[in-house]
Structure 1
Amino acid sequence: MPNRVRVLAVSDADRAELARRVRAKGLPAREVERARIVLLAADGVPGKQIAARVGCAEPTVVMWRSRFAERGLAGLADAPRSGKPATIPQAVRDEILSITLTEPPVDLGITHWSSRLLADRLRRDGKPVSHATVARVWKHFGIQPHRFGTFKFSTDPELEAKVRDIVGLYLDPPDKAVVLCVDEKSQIQALDRTAPMLPVRPGLPATRTHDYVRHGTTTLFAALEVATGKVTDACYDRHRHEEFLRFLKQVAKAYPRVKLHVVADNYATHKHPAVKAWLARNPRITMHFTPTSGSWMNLVEVFFGIITRQAIRRGTFTSVADLQAAIGTYIDAWNERCEPFHWVKDADTILAKATRPKPTNTQDASVTRH
């Protein structure tokens, strides 16, 4: 008789956090590995199979199963280790931190400290410290003065109602209805490089010339079906209310005789009187608007990020028609392999964060906020 596999007990909240870690970009590989081990163990997968899937030794699986069973998520953190005693005196560390966390003097004409400028400041004060020491202190405390983020509050008076409405559509969609996320990606440039792109090679990424020829732009309208991931699309030269209304009619034709719940942001064309009049004549279509500064709740923005990375950013296009054809080819292939989009955060979790700023890496921000 085969041995029964002991299923690891994992709460819904812990499972959601572990799934987030597995999907997250930028987490250390070891943290992703531990999260995968626990999730597989919670699904009843034997330890030997987990080790094969994750690519680790079976004792590693046993260790992280046991650590999670004993301490939960906290057990997945690295245990404290004894090491070489600190060589930087506490007073020096405190001084470095104190200066770092204050604005530089106006007479320096700088917006933030560098390790060399701060070390020079300390030397002038009779406290000789090397810039390498400053850098080590910064690294220890996770301080990166050269980086900065941005934040934005939604001032929408209907913030809570809109969040609960849209999250409700994602987590508990209405029966006998289709939930669609609609938006437009405007000003997509048809760029043609002046020399052929060089392919990726061992030790070298793909490269392209800096020079390009701009042949015009197009706007991609897309409707993402949340339950399947399927995309209905159209490309137009402009993105006025006329084009938006034309696209809505195309979507309505693609989904005949079924109720449609359409998630959209607050772009003015989406609320134009002509659009409202058409919606009044087509009551089977209900619009759901995201909060202001909350278009990140519209899942079609995720699709726009995917198509940009996989088909547009590195593409070369000799004309707008060439660009539109490439977009169409990509979406046809996407619809053959697409999968459902799963929303994971409940409304209470989102609203708890809505009252405080969330830092955003300005270099990675690519979604237009409406």
Structure 2
Amino acid sequence: MSRKQHVVELSAEDRNTLDWFVSTGTRKAEDITRARILLKADEGLTDAQICEHLGCSIGTPYRTRKAFTERGLAAIHRRKPDREYDRKLDGDAEARLIKLACSDPPEGHARWTLHLLADELVTLDEIDFESVSHETVRQRLKKNTLKPHLYDYWAIPAEDEGQFAYHMEDVLDLYHEPYDQNRPVICFDETSKALRGHKRDPLPARPGAVARIDTHYERNGKQNLHLATEPLTGWVTVAITEKRKTADWIDRMVELADEHYPDANCIRVVLDNLNTHNPAAFYRYFPPDIAHAYLERFEFHYTPKHGSWLNMAEIEIGVLKRQCLNRRIYHAATLRSEVAAWQKQRNAADGLIDWQFTTDDARTKLRRLYPVPLTEN
């Protein structure tokens, strides 16, 4: 039987060096894998056993052992220190690659891919080589923080939109007023939850397998959730209705005034520009004297269009979705009981919202949204 080739025998100093390498600092994953391969090989593990422990391909341990017999501990790095590597793309070619990646993809393609960029690059008249690997393209894009295969949505108002600045600063100034129990600040927002049920019973989690649910489900309509929160006290309340109507919003405001804050002189409400959030609607549902009396106790502050992120109620809605709603719920009664339980626990936790973004921050970070630039002293 032939003797195993490229045997790894590490000295105590070598082992200490490799142990330090894999446990400290920020390293390339492939370098750490090679270091661990050398440690496992020194312990006498076979290549198959090393693959099972580290999850690498079967050829990696052999290539690493062979490199170790040739270069020692430098084998953990793929590049050889004494070899000169020619740069495939010079500065001009790299600039053309960046310009190409920032342009529209060819007809018939939704977005650029690495292979598509590599193939398109060599067709340019200014490029004098026949081929470029997709790995070279990947490295150049990574260096320049370019991801042409991705896109994101944005909703930014026009640069000369003074309305955005006005409503933004109005809300930000309100957030940084001290707590006043006679003039509470309430953030209000709405969301919806689709009622869906399982067509087949889910499979519960077990060791080695996560819980699984069938991709098919039964529909049972949807419910609307109206959330109000007082960020400076951590209080939150959620009401659930079948539809989103102006009357439902009026009911929520009446609850704030009559049930939750009956002794407050002025209830300041932050809300978005949804068409149902209309104070004039009080006169559609109440006699004028009662409507006027309610409106005398409210002060509405509207977030700017495209600026709903300024409403702290969205933070609570995000928590509600992650902690309670991120699952299938079929019956409206179940939804109400589950949300009520979440609300009780949330209020018991006294989770205050520490809002850090100020008007000064807005004038610095969002200065392009102001029609007239800030005067510099």
| TM bucket, shorter chain | 0.5 to 0.7
* C-alpha distance in structure 1 between counterparts of 2:86 and 2:207, whole Å: 41
Identity of aligned residues (%): 27
In structure 1, runs of 5+ residues without a counterpart are 1-28, 31-82, 358-370
Task: Choose the corresponding residue for 1:149, options 141, 144, 152.
Answer: 152
Give the TM-score normalised by the residue count of structure 2: 0.65
Match of 2:239, as an amino acid? A
CA distance in 2, matches of 1:93, 1:305: 42
- Are the equivalent residues in 2 in contact too, given 1:241–1:272 (CA < 8 A)? no
Q: State whether structure 2 residue 252 is matched by structure 1 residue 247.
A: yes
Aligned to 1:309: 322
Please report the TM-score for the alignment, with normalisation by the length of structure 1: 0.67
1:166 aligns with 2:171: yes
- Asked if 1:115 is matched to 2:114, the reply is yes
Deviation at 1:174, TM superposition (A): 5.6
- 8 Å CA contact 2:111–2:148 kept in 1: the answer is yes
CA 1:349 to 1:204, structure 2 compared with 1: closer, same or farther past 3 Å? farther
In the alignment, the residues of structure 1 paired with residue 178 and residue 167 of structure 2 have an alpha-carbon distance, to the nearest angstrom, of: 15
The equivalent residue for 2:184 is 178
Give the aligned residue type for 2:252: F
Change (3 A) 1:309 1:128: same
Cα 1:332–1:151, aligned 2, differ >3 Å: closer, same or farther? same
Residues 123-177 of structure 1, C-alpha deviations (whole Å, 9 max, x = no match): 4454311112111211222211111122222355432232222112212236342
Instruction: Name the CA distance, whole Å, in 2 between partners of 1:146 and 1:219.
Output: 36
Distance 1:88 1:204 in 2: 46
Task: Quote how far apart the aligned CAs of 1:112 are.
Answer: 2.8
**Which residue of 2 is the match for residue 273 of structure 1?**
280
Answer yes or no: is the 8 Å Cα contact 1:104–1:112 preserved in 2: yes
Q: Is 1:337 aligned with 2:349?
A: yes
Q: Evaluate the alpha carbon distance shift between residue 345 and residue 179 of structure 1 in structure 2; reply closer, same or farther with a 3 A threshold.
A: same
Other structure's SS at 1:268 match: coil
Q: CA deviation at 1:109?
A: 2.4
1:134 counterpart = 2:137: yes
The separation in 2 between residues aligned to 1:355 and 1:348, in whole angstroms, is 10
Name the CA shift for 1:122/1:294 in 2 (closer, same or farther; >3 Å): closer
User: 1:189 is aligned with what amino acid?
Assistant: A
Question: 1:42-80 CA distances to partner (integer Å, 9 max, x unpaired)?
Answer: xxxxxxxxxxxxxxxxxxxxxxxxxxxxxxxxxxxxxxx
Give, in whole Å, the separation in 2 of the partners of 1:217 and 1:347. 38
Q: What residue in structure 2 maps to residue 209 of structure 1?
A: 214
CA distance in 2, matches of 1:90, 1:306: 48
Native 8 Å contact 1:167 1:347 kept in 2: yes
Q: Which residue in the other structure is 2:300 paired with?
A: 287
In structure 2, the partner of 1:77 is none
Letter in 2 for 1:242: A
Gaps of 5+ in 2: 1-24, 27-79, 370-377
Counterpart Cα distance in 2 of 1:254 and 1:340? 18
Alpha-carbon distance in 2 for matches of 1:193, 1:347: 48
Root-mean-square deviation over aligned CA pairs: 2.7
Residue 224 (str. 1) matches residue 237 (str. 2): no
Cα gap change, 1:232 to 1:122, in 2 (>3 Å): closer
Q: Secondary structure at the match of 2:213?
A: coil
Describe the SS at the equivalent of 1:288: strand
The reply to whether residue 264 of structure 1 matches residue 232 of structure 2 is no
Structure number with larger C-alpha Rg: 2
Shift in CA distance, 174/318, structure 1 to aligned 2, threshold 3 Å: closer
